[in-house]
Chains A and B, each alone.
Chain A
Amino acid sequence: MDFLRPETLAEALELKASRPDAVPIAGGTDVMVELNYDHRRPAALLDLTRIPELGEWSDGLRIGAGVPYVRIIDELGAQLPGLAMASRTVGSPQIRNRGTVGGNLGAASPAGDTHPVLLASDAVIEVASVRGTRMIPAAEFYVGVKRNALEPDELIVAVHLAPAKGPQQFSKVGTRNAMVIAVCSFAISLFPAEKRVGAAVGSAAPTPRRAHEAEQFLASELDFSSPKPLLDSVKREFGELVSLAASPIDDVRGSAAYRKHALAVMARRTLGWAWQELLDGEQQCA
């Protein structure tokens, strides 16, 4: 096995082009488990932790693929509340100190905690190779169970995610608060100015996925111009539509039936919280 240690992104892309079999490693929280358990023997590891620009972000926001969860929580929480909420549910403090959104995207597990937020918030994934840069909308990034849209010579460079334009919420079901792979998860983003809603499910289908019908239903039902308390019937219908968007399986973490039920509950509750935040904001303005 080779251990490749690029110091710049250009160098990393050259290495990935010449060694497409090299496995990128940043926080190591997924890759090292596979190595420790002998589940994977890559020909090379490509260490991305020495590339400064992967660990930075810029206004707008363009978040380097190597920014650890702890910094998203501590330093970007006000701008990206949904992503910060999801990041808080990742592993433990030690894991959040190392793990990155880039790694979440690279692993592309259907249960990855940040995926529903990235989908619901219209994130765009910036990937690069020596051939150039591609901007891939999150909705097109997840192509199968643990498979993403990357070509063998490409690396995930950054996530583009606009600061929240309205309330965002994230919810996850697991057996305890820490160290839990999601049984299922859900994210919602309100875009009041555009009078629309983003909603996405995690760990409830072969890939993380958006709940399009549920989004459209809310866009037609919610009165963003003069928000009033929501009818229970609207929340319930939203929950049902989110549940219908999922196609979960029975596995060790939960049954398909339970996941569908839990998604409806999470969708209903998070909508309630997000809408209440909007109402509270209106009152403050008045």
Chain B
Amino acid sequence: MRVNVTVNGEQRQADDVWEGESLLFMLRERLGLPGSKNACEQGECGSCTVYLDDVPVCACLVAAGQAQDRSVRTVEGLAQGDQLDPVQEAFVEAGAVQCGFCTPGLVVAAHDLLDRVPSPSDPEIREALAGNLCRCTGYEKILDAVRLAAARR
């Protein structure tokens, strides 16, 4: 089937989409956006977190067809040209990136948190990031990055 979807502000069209395919597969394999990572495929790890109509979701748990006529924002859509989003900058500066695989999902989840709660408490940060796993276990630096980004906003 064909899916028409707005991705990072741009009207996109994907063809030959299998009806049981996930939004994540469509983004990565058909629309050339590999920023959202494919890991657990069951919503456990958060690596594929994207905004769907401004709400963070696991792209692996959204059927591609459900994104028809909707708006998706991926990690690729956070920066303004070469200017990184403050959350991305904070991740770089705080050293919150180890192997980097979980980073796109965490950046989107943190971005959403700071949009909703500009000055989150530590428990609020932990709760907001509870759906994102870092197998390098670099959580302390990730928390530092979110605190840094919050302080700068």
Contacts and interface: CB of A to CB of B under 8 A. Distances in A.
B87 to A, nearest CB: 16
B61 A98 contact: yes
Interface in B4-29: 18-20, 22
A29 B130 contact: no
Interface stretch (B49-57, B78-86, B135-143): B49-57
Given A1-B18, A97-B57, A98-B57, A32 B131 contact: no
A12 B19 CA distance: 17
A52 to B, nearest CB: 14
A152 to B, nearest CB: 20
Given A45-B20, A177-B130, A33 B57 contact: no
B61 A33 contact: yes
Nearest to A33: B42
Contacts of A45: 19-20, 63, 65
A23 to B, nearest CB: 10
A5 interface: yes
Nearest to A97: B55
B42 A37 contact: yes
10 contacts: A25-B63, A27-B61, A33-B61, A35-B20, A44-B19, A92-B132, A93-B109, A95-B61, A98-B58, A178-B127
Contacts of A6: none
B55 A32 contact: no
A12 to B, nearest CB: 14
Nearest to B130: A178
Query: A-B pairs with the 5 shortest C-beta distances?
Result: A92-B131, A178-B130, A1-B19, A36-B41, A3-B19
Given A27-B61, A32-B43, A178-B131, 20 more contacts: A1-B18, A32-B61, A32-B62, A33-B43, A33-B61, A37-B42, A41-B20, A47-B66, A92-B130, A92-B131, A93-B56, A93-B127, A93-B128, A94-B43, A94-B56, A94-B57, A95-B43, A95-B61, A98-B62, A179-B131
A28 B66 contact: yes
Nearest to B64: A3
Contacts of A94: 43, 46, 49, 56-58, 109, 131
Interface string A173-206: 0000111000000000000000000000000000
A75 B83 CA distance: 37
Interface in B109-138: 109, 112, 127-128, 130-132
Contacts of A49: 66
A36 B66 contact: no
Given A94-B56, A98-B62, A36 B19 contact: no
A3 B63 contact: yes
A97 B130 CA distance: 13
Interface in A49-82: 49
The winner among A3, A177, A179 for most chain B CB atoms within 10 A is A3
A27 B18 CA distance: 19
A91 interface: yes
Interface in B59-79: 60-63, 65-66, 68
